[in-house]
Structure 1
Amino acid sequence: MTLTFTLEPPITSALRDDLLDLWTDVSNAGGAVGFVPPVHREEIRPELVRHFVHMAQGRTRLLVGRDAHGTTAAAAFLTGNPQHLNAHWLSLYSVMVHPRHQGKGYGRDLLAAAEEAARATAGIEAIRLSCRGGHGLERFYGSCGYKEVGRVPGAVRVAPDDDRDEIFMLLSLG
């Protein structure tokens, strides 16, 4: 079974709720998407609203992957750079695959769909993302063609006495 991806789907209350559920479930399963467990939907809502505001301003695009039943199984946000000196690359944020779909290749599919969206965007030559150390995510992203281009030791504090590296990765589209 594969996912069907939609770039910039219409934002409905159902999609909003699906994204809140996805983000909550991913976070509570230990996913490194800006929160640490336990987290509740209402804690995530302001971050999702911030993304929606950026979408309304044309700064951010939403990519959603749905399974055969139409359920939101994966999502990511693509954000352009407001600085003209950095306008040739975009950032990928909040890359999420629902925990029940882990190990099915959906993460690779989501990254491939994000790459396709970036390639279809005039002037974009690369995708940048950052990930939290301690999860092995840099190995996964590396296996998808991303290269580590920087690391800030201890930049992410997930708990007292638990600081993780923030790892910057880049996928060249050239």
Structure 2
Amino acid sequence: MTARTSLRFVFDPPVDAALRDGLLALWADVTDAGGSVGFVPPADPEEIRPELVRHLVAMARGRTRLLVGYDADGTVAAAAFLALNDHRLMTHWIWLYTVMVHPGHQGKGWGRDLMAAAADAARTLPGVEAIRLTCRGGTGADAFYTACGYQEVGRVPGAIRVAPGDDRDDVIMLLELGA
């Protein structure tokens, strides 16, 4: 039996062309594999690019933080965005967005590693007590997040229209970080 390799996680990595290109490629590959990351296959990187730029602008403004998992080759293999709340009454929790593990690495436990690293990163943020995320119903993502300690706290039926006649629930999940 071979030993399990893991990712090297970096919270708030410096943004350069290699990271931008790596994130874009990861996002396209995850989309093409059926991942629920805001797009449907086939992925067009040029359609994804403006959304990545929005995330990067939010990072530059200090409203969003980035967690990246690099594989043994130094390739971007996983990522998640942590968005701070703007509302003064909700600063005690953050949003987790665009959670991705490269399809070639799925089944290795790296998704759970990414979720644990995201929780660890959130714990470093002053006053943050919980992480909230949403996921597309009908994909099994909610079961994955439940296995990572999240609980379903709400559901909006048919809120996500994947295609005409294919509406999915928007599942709201929460992880309380505890002491």
TM-score bracket, shorter-length normalisation: over 0.9
Residue matched to 2:64: 60
Residue matched to 1:124: 128
Indicate the RMSD between aligned Cα atoms, in angstroms. 0.5
Any idea what the Cα deviations from partners look like across 1:42-74, whole Å, max 9, x if unmatched?
000000000011000000001000011101100
Structure 2: which amino acid aligns with 1:155?
A
User: With structure 2 as the length reference, what TM-score do the two structures score?
Assistant: 0.96
Say which SS state the counterpart of residue 139 (structure 1) adopts: helix
Q: 1:167 Cα deviation (Å)?
A: 0.1
Say which SS state the counterpart of residue 89 (structure 2) adopts: helix
Query: Aligned pair count?
Result: 174
Partners of 1:32 and 1:148 lie apart in 2 by: 17
Q: 1:134 Cα deviation (Å)?
A: 0.9
User: With structure 1 as the length reference, what TM-score do the two structures score?
Assistant: 0.99
Structure 2 unpaired stretches of 5+? none
The question of 1:5 aligning with 2:25 is answered: no
Residue matched to 2:148: 144
The question of 1:47 aligning with 2:45 is answered: no
Any idea what the Cα deviations from partners look like across 1:78-127, whole Å, max 9, x if unmatched?
00000010000000000000000010000000000000011111100000
For residues 110-121 of structure 1, what are the structure 2 equivalents within 5 Å? 110-121=114-125
Q: 1:24 Cα deviation (Å)?
A: 0.2
Q: 1:147 Cα deviation (Å)?
A: 0.3
Structure 2: which amino acid aligns with 1:82?
D
Partners of 2:19 and 2:176 lie apart in 1 by: 31
Residue matched to 2:20: 16
Say which SS state the counterpart of residue 94 (structure 1) adopts: strand
Indicate the percent of aligned positions where both proteins have the same amino acid.
67
Structure 1 unpaired stretches of 5+? none
Please point out which of 99, 107, 113 is paired with 2:111. 107
Any idea what the Cα deviations from partners look like across 1:9-36, whole Å, max 9, x if unmatched?
0111011000000000000110000000
Residue matched to 2:33: 29
Q: 1:8 Cα deviation (Å)?
A: 0.6
Partners of 1:123 and 1:167 lie apart in 2 by: 25
Structure 2: which amino acid aligns with 1:49?
V
Partners of 2:13 and 2:123 lie apart in 1 by: 18
Residue matched to 1:73: 77
Any idea what the Cα deviations from partners look like across 1:133-170, whole Å, max 9, x if unmatched?
11111111001100000000000000000000000000
Structure 2: which amino acid aligns with 1:106?
W
Say which SS state the counterpart of residue 83 (structure 1) adopts: coil
